[in-house]
Amino acid sequence: MSEMTLEAPVAGVKDHSPEATIALLKERYPEHISDDARDGYEGIIVHPDKIVEISRDLQSELGYNYLASLTGVDLIDDNKLEIVYHTASIKHGGNPLVLKVQVDRDNPVLPSVTPIWPGAEYQEREAFDMYGFQFEGHPDLRRILTWDGFHGYPLRKDWREPFYEEDNKPFGSRWPGGEVFRAEERNLYGKNVQYPAGWMPEGDEIEAETDSYAGITYSRDQSPDIKTEKVTINMGPQHPSTHGVFRMAITLDGETIMGLKPVMGYLHRNHEKIGERNTFIGNIPYTDRLDYISSMSNNHGYVLAVEKLMDATVPERAEWIRILMVELTRIANHLWAIGFLLNDLGALQTPMLYYYIERELILDFFEAASGSRMMCNYMRFGGVAYDLPDDVRGQPVMKFLHDLIYERLPKALNQGDQLITGNEIVRARGMGVGYLSPEDAIAYSAAGPVLRASGVPYDLRKANPYSYYEHLDFDVAVRYNGDIYDRFLIRVDEMQQSLRILQQVLPHLEETEGGAINDGKPQYAIRMPKAGEAYGRVENPKGELGYYVTAKRRDANPARYHVRSPSFINLTALEKMCIGHKVADVVAILGSIDIVLGEVDR
Amino acid sequence: MYGLGILKGMAVTMKHFVTSYLDDIFWASRGGRYYNDDALAVRQSLEGKGVITVFYPEEKLPVPERFRFVPFLVTDDPPPGQKWGHEWCTSCGICAKVCPPQCIWIERGKQPNGRPKPEPEKFFIDIDICMNCGMCAEFCPFDAIKMDHDYELASYNRTSAHIHDKERLSKPLSYWREIAPKKAAAEAAARDFAEESKKRKKAKKGEDDGREERLAEVMARQLAYKGAQY
Amino acid sequence: MTTTNTGVTSPDIAVPDEVKDNVFITNIAKLLDPVYNWSRRNSIWPLGFGLACCAIEMICAASSRFDLARFGMEVFRASPRQADLMIVSGTVTKKMIPIIVRLYNQISEPRYVLSMGACASGGGPFKEGYNVVDGVDKFIPVDVYVPGCPPTPQALLNGLIALQEKIDQQSIATAPWYRKNDPTAEMIPIPRLGPDLYDMRQVDLIKAEAVKAAQEAQEPAAEVTN
């Protein structure tokens, strides 16, 4: 990759911190930028007219070339809707720069930033779907998580779901006069449904499977001599290789892919709406179910975000335990991802089964430590829920971990290496397929292994360090070809690095044996001492996982709770990777992105 | 040489194939490889080689002490002739409040004079909503609600079987001691500690100081969080 | 294998005393049922169909440690036409239920549905969400429910054994799928997505409500004009 693309041509700018950049922007656009003066908030509020220009300046000149997250917020008290942009600098790392645009709640129109950051495409569609923002200049503004024709904008604060009980948990009907009921018993239709008053079913409502070809063109080829047609085919949501209920509409010319539109929302379980009803602590087990293969990392991101709001301090032992858990999760996740990728490539089952044996051992440890194999619910604000267990599968815990980290897992990785890395079929299917250039990877907001396999060494553990990662010695895995094979190799590299980290963590765990693992006493009702916003980001196995949480003072429920999920945003680049390849490569490319639908659809 | 990678891979599978038989031979003189608790323990540990399958239902993979499935209520050990004893639950409602999906319904008991009685009149858990997160057990100040280890709950009818009422939920303390011996012992020690410090406070001041009592109890509760392992 | 139908001489039939010890009277169904059920229960092919978190535990149940192959269930079929069992493994959303019903309709008889996990059974922790179906049994009949969030692989196996036990109770003589006018073979109308999900079987109710709402809206208007 040329140095030019990464190194922004910032003439004379020395300081790349968000504060300095904001000062620079203020000089340029004094009329259109104001500080976000709300208590506990950061960043700047930008006038909607200038957001595109300011974004362009940030992206092309000032080094903030990566749009980490874009989300809507409903400020119902001010009768406004807000879009929050988190932009980051790939080259310089550090904290993200926060931009906000506020628009009228009744007429939420603002320009789209997709011309600058194509990675905003699905995020803007989501904001449209959930809040009703109208993005001018967006190439394809349709519902993304719900379906066309859905009534209302569900994340608006005044929108109520059919089983609405109260705005916030805990619900009053549970105690002290708790008479059990099933919510459907109180619904006229006996189901989780509601219809707008006076709505009459016509019978011509869009059927589920036809509504999504809208984004893709079905066209007749104009070549005069040969009569060819492009065909649109459907893949999913029930398909063995879509890693869940994911669906793609693909336009083909012969077998070559000309266009591809992902269709999502088949697992949209309203994580954010429920999360805003929940108490802060009640969201922890829900985060387990986002990326259900790596629940520990999800916990970590969420508690980091809320700890920023609380100013909590985490005891040393708890931090080491967190890193232990998170890195083991990374290995478990990559074992799973590689197993499935190879499954998609045709290595049916064998590597997958071998890898799962190792994953089961990691799950055994999680189960012994937290009580559940997958839904760990292990971290708490200011620490972790429990200390390490005494023993795992009949062995003292430290011996188990030592054997796992020093013997079992390296051996398994080595075996996987022998089994697959040199395999000619894997190389033939993987090399040069699904190429994503570094420029595109950044533009599409790709994260995690997808970004790093394209030659962009951006890892939040180094770029914007959290927890104790500063004190640990490890390398950012990076590969330069940006194809399926490199995305496979980079996961192996990352597992090696995780093992390296784990080997450094073990002595610390022994040192801090018996130390505190939680800050203060366990509290079932956490109230935020102060108002404000926080964006907690961690390097999830799949990429940057961010939680945007806002709180009101003395409130036990988040006012806004948004998840920036890496799987969802990585999919934005899927079409780019697939075009020009054969239809059989789609599953492999999808497998190499490693999505989890719980996180894509939330 | 083209194809070498494939051959190398096949050698790995061959090794696995052979190992599974070698391990069979190893266990042949030690009570057999399957349906043998010793063999199962080795097979499921880090030393496991060859076929690692658990032959459920004949063999069951042991669950750790912290394992959590659906919750149950702890009662005293039942007096002879009865099914369960006195409920530990005081219907304080903390579990119902902390429950993330709100699957707990508690009707607080009432004394004849209308005052609240520290005992639940009714207690329901809808296990179709329960997410097995264990928050109720974690935050219960009376050790009265615990996570069960019984995962064999498959049923043919959910309308009748999936809302657990007080009778279905109640299990004696001895059951809890059986499934989680270390944790039960740690909790008992914490309770004793709290009781003792309460007495000490009383003896020192000669009067009942409710606040300090509570503080002592809170201190004791935190033992598990402060790193006291079980 | 359960053999509930060992030979019992029927009182209706007179058997000469001299051959009594050598005669075994039963009907053909009772004789065949154990064999029939034995072969069916040990070759249940599930539909390769994962929805959410529970699907991961389902895959774990199928992989080496728990190994569904011991029950003859390892053949996860991608096509519903070849499957016998649908493991609804995870949260059923409104956007997904039309497809699930369609898949169910496509499974050939006899077909079984196992609802895995709290979400599939009753909405689970996501029940309150606006896009979640509160139980797949609102649309398709379910044979076995496995509670848990998620059920461990062993809990799933326990549910599958419960399903096998259910199959053991069935008989060729009474199996509905060999009858004329089989009630279980009926196609379930596929729900549609309007402003919200609607069940085609409830269209009349929805229309009645719409009419009622329209009348209610008119009444105050009429009062104003008066």
Chain C residues with CB-CB distance to B102 below 8 A = 128
Helices A583-593 + A484-511 axis angle, to 10: 20
Mean pLDDT estimate for chain B: 81
Nearest to A40 by CA among A530, A515, A576: A530
Q: How far apart are CA A233 and CA A235, in angstroms?
A: 7
Lowest mean pLDDT among A384-398, A526-540, B186-200: B186-200
Q: Per the CB < 8 Å rule, is C148 touching B132?
A: yes
Which residue ranges make up each domain of chain A?
3-136, 208-263, 271-600
Rounded (5°) CA angle A602-A293-A235 = 60
**Average pLDDT over every residue of B117-129:** 87
Segment B34-40 shows an average pLDDT of: 84
Whether A213 has a pLDDT exceeding 80, the answer reads no
Smallest CA–CA separation between C199 and chain B, in Å? 21
Q: What is the mean pLDDT of chain C?
A: 83
Task: Check residue A234 and give its pLDDT.
Answer: 83
In angstroms, the CA A34 to CA A46 distance is 7
Pairwise CA distance, residues C119 & C128, whole Å: 11
CA atoms of A436 and A572, how far apart (whole Å) = 12
Give the least confident one: A82-86, A468-472, B162-166, C26-30. C26-30
Distance in Å, alpha carbon of B51 to nearest chain C alpha carbon: 8
Chain B residues with CB inside 8 Å of C67's CB? 53
Query: Which of B8, B94, B122 is the closest to A418 by Cβ?
Result: B8
Which of B35, B98, B99, B151 should we substitute to test contact with C (largest number of C Cβ atoms within 10 Å)?
Answer: B151
Cis peptide before C80 (omega within 30 of 0): no
Residue B55 has pLDDT above 90, yes or no: no
User: Contact B158/C137, CB-based, under 8 Å?
Assistant: yes
Residue A410: the pLDDT is 92
Among B20, B45, B158, which would you mutate to test the C interface (most chain C Cβ atoms within 10 Å of its Cβ)?
B158
Q: What is the pLDDT of residue B225?
A: 46
Q: Do B57 and C64 touch (CB under 8 A)?
A: no
Using the Cα atoms of residue A129, residue A131, residue A134 and residue A135 in order, give the sign of their dihedral. negative
CATH topology of domain B69-179: Alpha-Beta Plaits (3.30.70)
* Closest Cβ opposite residue B12 in set A179, A394, A419: A419
Q: What is the pLDDT of residue B227?
A: 39
The one-letter amino acid at A383: G
In angstroms, rounded to a whole number, what is the distance separating the alpha carbons of residues B204 and B219? 19
Confidence bin at B167 (pLDDT 50/70/90):
confident
| CA of A154 vs chain C CAs: smallest distance (Å) | 8
Q: What percent of chain A has pLDDT over 90?
A: 28
In chain A, residues with a C-beta closer than 8 Å to the C-beta of B2 are 424
Tell me the nearest-neighbour CA distance from B144 into chain A, angstroms: 16
3-state secondary structure of C200: helix
Q: Is the bond preceding residue A201 a cis peptide, omega within 30 degrees?
A: no
Helices (H), ranges, A446-582: 449-453, 460-463, 484-511, 566-570, 574-578
Residue C203, token pair as written in the block: 């269209």
Nearest to B64 among A285, A367, A422 (CB): A367
Tally the residues of chain C. Answer: 226
CB B216 within 8 A of CB B194: yes
In B, minimum Cα distance to C116 occurs at B154
Yes or no, beta carbons of B45 and A282 under 8 Å apart: no
- What's the gap between Cα A63 and its chain centre? 23
Terminal Cα distance for chain C, rounded: 78
Considering only CB atoms, which chain C residues are within 8 Å of B162?
A: 121-122, 145, 147
Quick check: A423 pLDDT over 80?
A: yes
User: What is the nearest CA distance from B88 to chain A, expressed in angstroms?
Assistant: 17
Tokens (6 digits) for A469: 């990662």
Give the model's confidence band at A366: pLDDT under 50 very low, under 70 low, under 90 confident, else very high. very high
- Tokens 């303390």 belong to B173
Q: Two tokens at A65?
A: 């070339």
- pLDDT over 90 at A520, yes or no: no
Contacts with C77 (C-beta within 8 Å, 6 or more apart), sequence order: C45, C46, C47, C48, C83
Q: Which conformational region is residue A152 in: left (phi greater than 0), alpha (psi within -120 to 50 degrees), or beta?
A: left
A592, two tokens: 């190499």
Pairing mode of beta strands A44-46, A97-104: parallel
- Distance (Å, rounded) from C-alpha C155 to C-alpha C115? 12
Domain over A3-136 is classified CATH 3.30.460.80: yes
> pLDDT per residue over A550-567, tens digit each?
988 888 889 999 999 999
Two tokens, residue B222: 């935190």
* Token pair recorded at residue B42: 């080795």
Can you read off the two tokens belonging to residue C125? 């922790």
pLDDT at C6: 42
CB atoms within 10 A of CB B168: 15
Nearest residue of chain B to residue A512 (CA atoms): B227
The CA distance from A264 to A142, in Å, is 12
Which pLDDT does position B228 carry in this prediction?
43
Tell me if C128 and A165 make a contact (CB, 8 A cut-off). Answer: yes
B153 in contact with C, Cβ within 8 Å = yes
How far, in Å, CA of C198 to CA of C192, rounded? 5
Cα angle A357-A360-A363, degrees, rounded to a multiple of 5: 160
* Angle, CA of A287, A131 and C90, to the nearest 5°: 35
Please name the residue that has the structure tokens 């323990």.
B41
Residues with Cβ < 8 Å from B208, sequence gap 6 or more?
A: B202
The full DSSP string for A324-393 is HHHHHHHHHHHHHHHHHHHHHHT--SHHHHHHHHHHHHHHHHHHHHHS-SS----EETTEESSPPPSEET
Nearest residue in chain B measured CA to CA from C65: B53
Residues 6+ apart with CB under 8 A from A147: A206, A208, A211, A265, C95, C193
- Would you say A459 and A452 are in contact if contact means Cβ atoms under 8 Å apart? yes
Under the banding of pLDDT at 50, 70 and 90, the label for residue B143 is confident
> Shortest CA distance to B179 belongs to which of B62, B88, B89, B55?
B62
C64, C95, C210 member nearest A200 (Cβ): C210
Indicate the residue of B12, B105, B138 with minimum beta-carbon distance to A385. Answer: B138
Identical fold at A3-136 and A271-600?
A: no
Place of tokens 């879009």: A83
CA distance A371 to B121: 30
Provide mean pLDDT across the span A78-89. 91
Closest CB to C154 among B60, B101, B130 = B60
B179-184 long-range Cβ contacts below 8 angstroms, 24+ apart? B179/B65, B179/B148, B179/B149, B180/B65, B180/B66, B180/B146, B180/B149, B181/B65, B182/A390, B182/B65, B182/B230, B183/B65, B183/B66, B183/B230
Q: Let me know: does B146 contact B175? Beta carbons within 8 Å.
A: no
Alpha carbons C45 and A233: distance in angstroms, whole number? 27
Please state, in angstroms and rounded to a whole number, the distance separating the CA atoms of residues A432 and A200.
53
**According to the 3-state scheme, what is the secondary structure of chain B?**
CCCHHHHHHHHHHHHHHHHHHHHHHHHHCCCCCCCCHHHHHHHHCCCCCCCCCCCCCCCCCCCCCCCCCCEEEEECCCCCCCCCCCECCCCCCHHHHHCCCCCEEEEEEECCCCCEEEEEEEEEEECCCCCCCCHHHHHCCCCCEEECCCCCCCECCHHHHCEECHHHHEEEHHHHHHHCHHHHHHHHHHHHHHHHHHHHHHHHHCCCCHHHHHHHHHHHHHHHCCCCCC
3-class DSSP state for residue A536?
Answer: strand
Write the pLDDT tens digit of every residue in A269-324: 899 999 999 988 889 999 999 888 899 999 999 999 988 888 888 888 889 999 99
Q: Which residues does chain B have within 8 Å of residue C151's beta carbon, measured at their own beta carbons?
A: 151
CATH of domain A271-600: 1.10.645.10
User: How far is the C-alpha of B67 from the C-alpha of A367, rounded, in Å?
Assistant: 7
Q: Phi and psi for C17 in degrees, rounded to 5?
A: -55, -40
Residue A335 CB neighbours (<10 A): 27
What's the distance, CA A511 to chain centroid?
34
Q: Which of A154-158, B160-164, B191-195, C132-136 has the lowest mean pLDDT?
A: B191-195
pTM comes to 0.89
Least Cα separation, residue A265 to chain C (angstroms): 7
Return the residue of A nearest to C122 by Cα.
A182
Is some CB atom of chain C closer than 8 A to the CB atom of B158?
A: yes
> If residue A124 lies in a helix (H) or strand (E), which one and from where to where?
helix A121-131
pLDDT tens digits, one per residue of A475-508: 999 999 989 999 999 999 999 999 999 999 999 9
Confidence of residue C2 (pLDDT cuts 50, 70, 90): very low
Closest Cα in chain C, distance from residue B165 (Å): 16
Section A395-407 average pLDDT: 90
Residue contact A393–B105, C-beta within 8 A: no
Asked whether the beta carbons of residue C143 and residue B153 sit closer than 8 angstroms, the reply is no
Are A118 and A106 in contact, with CB atoms under 8 Å apart? no
Q: Is B97:A525 a contact under the CB 8 Å cutoff?
A: yes
User: What residues contact residue C45 under an 8 Å CB cut-off, 6+ apart?
Assistant: C73, C75, C76, C77, C82, C83, C84, C85
CB proximity A236 to C under 8 Å: no
Polymer length in residues for chain A: 602
